[in-house]
Amino acid sequence: MNKVTQLFHTRDELLLGHYTSLENPGLFKGKFGLCLYFFEAFQQCEELKYQHAAEHLLQEGYNFIHQNPMPTSFDNGLAGIAWGINQLIKRGYLEGNADELLMEIDTILFKVISEKTNELEFGLKRGILGYLIYILDRVSVQPKNAPEKVNSEIFTSLAVLLINRIHLMAEENRGNFTEPKEFNLFWDLPNYLYVLGEINRLNIMPNKTRQMIRNISPLLLSLIPQNLGNCLSLLYGMSKVAHEDWSAHTRLLQEKLNSASITSFRLANKSLYVENGLSGLILLDKQVGLEIDDWKGLFNDEKNVQLAMQHLEKSEYWRATEKNPENEMGFIYGITGIHYALLFLKQIKDPQHE
């Protein structure tokens, strides 16, 4: 058993031993983030304990959101939960029709988006970018019958409303496009580019999309992030849009990262989270590989895998979680996201599932 697999199984007992104590149903800190992880772990490891845990969390979370008032944001509200459920359906983990299973949630989201668009902030966690990620995910599914077509048209109209609004906010500099000092997955600029890429792929408002791409181009083509984590994040965002005028700059960012050692990302000892640590880099690296054909992959390098394992094993983070691990069960800010990243490292080191 290699080191990645060994660490995976050792730390996994924390999640399996404490998942029933989770109260928050949300995607970033709660039941649905952990539910996604357990389904993914079951697919890779084929151990029933993961399936049972995932189904338990799914049922508990689904019951909770239909019995209690909830915020509507993406981070720990209905938009993120609905996105998570839709992912389970698309990946075949959950049987059913998204329009039926998500009807009550969608009704609430339709109302909030229609009535409060001008009050929403810009970003992914609690703003328009997060709502768009869910809305566009629903638009991307081809309708199979008349009722589904009607629902798809409603989602498209909501997307148009949000696209117009976020374009205006970007022009008014209301997004945080300045590079953060440290690596942060929620830097608005790469997330804005991700959404632009999805809008472009779905061919929604093509003239507007071209205008948005033109408007953001001067900033992008003058920017080389100082932090390599932010450089990776920007590369991913630009690769989603894949605009021909950006190809030289995209190549420049790619070359800067190709020979990078994990030590050059300047991660603090406890920086393991998806939001701003090693796990976020692992997941980003995986996504960049899906967009760029000749991407070498930071973690296809054996030395970087070894350095990542050393960082994971020696981090003081684990000692800090020993007393109250139930407070560290989140996907974006906790053990769940760290283990989700370990699944990808495990795939690289153990593709045949030992």
Q: 95-115: per-residue pLDDT in tens?
A: 999 999 999 999 999 999 999
**Looking at residue 2, what is its pLDDT?**
63
Task: Report helix, strand or coil for 75.
Answer: coil
**What sign results for the dihedral spanned by CA atoms 25, 27, 30, 35?**
positive
Amino acid identity, position 128: I
- Enumerate the domain spans of the chain: 68-176
**Looking at residue 351, what is its pLDDT?**
52
Q: Which helix (H) or strand (E) holds 33?
A: helix 31-45
**Looking at residue 117, what is its pLDDT?**
95
**Looking at residue 112, what is its pLDDT?**
96
Give the burial class of 291: count Cβ atoms within 10 A of its Cβ; 0-12 exposed, 13-18 middle, 19 or more buried.
middle
d(CA 250, CA 247): 5
Please count the CA atoms within 13 angstroms of the CA of 252 that sit on its side-chain side: 12
**Looking at residue 353, what is its pLDDT?**
45
**Looking at residue 220, what is its pLDDT?**
97
pLDDT in tens, 143-169: 878 888 888 999 999 999 999 999 999
The DSSP call for residue 181 is S
* DSSP β-bridge partners for residue 127: 121
d(CA 326, CA 336): 11
**Looking at residue 324, what is its pLDDT?**
84
Span between the terminal Cα atoms of the chain, in Å: 8
Pair 353, 346: CB distance under 8 Å: no
* DSSP β-bridge partners for residue 329: 334
pTM over 0.85: yes
Residues in the chain with pLDDT < 70?
Answer: 1-5, 349-354
